[in-house]
A = this chain, B = another copy of it.
Amino acid sequence: MELVSQSQSFGGMQSVYRHRSEACAVEMTFGVYLPPSARARPVPLLWYLSGLTCTHENAMIKAGLQKYAAEHDLALVFPDTSPRGEGVADDQAYDLGQGAGFYLNATQKPWVRHYRMYDYIVSEMPALLQKELPLNGVFGITGHSMGGHGALTIAFRNPEKFRSLSAFAPIVNPTRSDWGRKQFSAYLGDDEAYWAKHDACLLLADLGWDGDILIDQGAADQFLEHLRPEAMARLMAERRQPGVLRMQAGYDHSYYFVASFAEDHVRWHAERLHAT
């Protein structure tokens, strides 16, 4: 992987790398933050999956996670939200194509060639990062909006890989949302049987989750009807699922919301990732 830029941040190092992705068959860019303690010993890694329209960069510069990662001895990784560039299929809408990969493997044309974000996040990137960086192999995962959907669905399907889980304003029930039905139809085809493994509520009902879950949701979020937090709230309560779902009064869907609760989420992950 090729180093694109590097800046010291809170005593650690914020880097951007580019590499040729096998899964996506295209060059991909991502950000990595290493805390100061990673110079002395390997650290756990917290994955941050971003939302619609984002690149690797938005959360890296807006969410303010580095301070807390430095304090709690965690590395951070900020993947892109889709394959990009010339020759990669796209759509004029902001919520389909580039910037809107939905963390799945597309099966339908024209998306099938490059849109393999599930394999990229679950298999290719972990192997690459574990090889190249001072990591101890312990992973947690979080994300915002579409990235919250990614964090929940990827953790539920890969509990052996992710020890801790949280989300900011996640899309929790995409098979019943305009942020989901349109995209799953395009990427996966019209047979809804194939959609279930990308819906956090359906997966939790089917597979369960042995750990606990932290979800923050702004009560003044302008996209509540797409996010459907009530579906996850009911399901967690019905299943007696350990976890915390906080409706945060006054907060909208922006990075101001994410930044306001970034410290709580990093601490949540640190307590679980450093546990022996």
Residues of A participating in the B interface, judged by any CB pair closer than 8 Å: 7-11, 14, 61-62, 64, 66-67, 218, 220, 250-252, 254-257, 259-260
Identical copies in the complex: 2
**Which residue of chain B has the shortest Cβ distance to A263 in the bound complex?**
B67
- Name A8's contact: one of B7, B67, B250 (CB within 8 Å): B250
Main secondary structure of the interface of A (DSSP, over half): mixed
Do residues B220 and A8 form an inter-chain contact, with CB atoms below 8 A? yes
Q: Is the pair B7, A257 in contact by a Cβ cutoff of 8 Å?
A: yes
Task: Report yes or no: B62 in contact with A256, Cβ–Cβ below 8 A.
Answer: no
CA distance A256 to B256 in the complex (A): 17
Q: A7-B251, A9-B256, A10-B260 are in contact. List 19 more A-B contacts (CB 8 A).
A: A7-B252, A7-B254, A8-B218, A8-B220, A8-B250, A8-B252, A8-B257, A8-B260, A9-B259, A10-B259, A11-B260, A14-B256, A61-B61, A61-B62, A61-B255, A64-B64, A64-B259, A66-B259, A67-B259
* Residues of B contacting A10 in the complex (Cβ-Cβ under 8 angstroms): 259-260
Question: How close is A68's CB to chain B, nearest CB, in angstroms?
Answer: 11
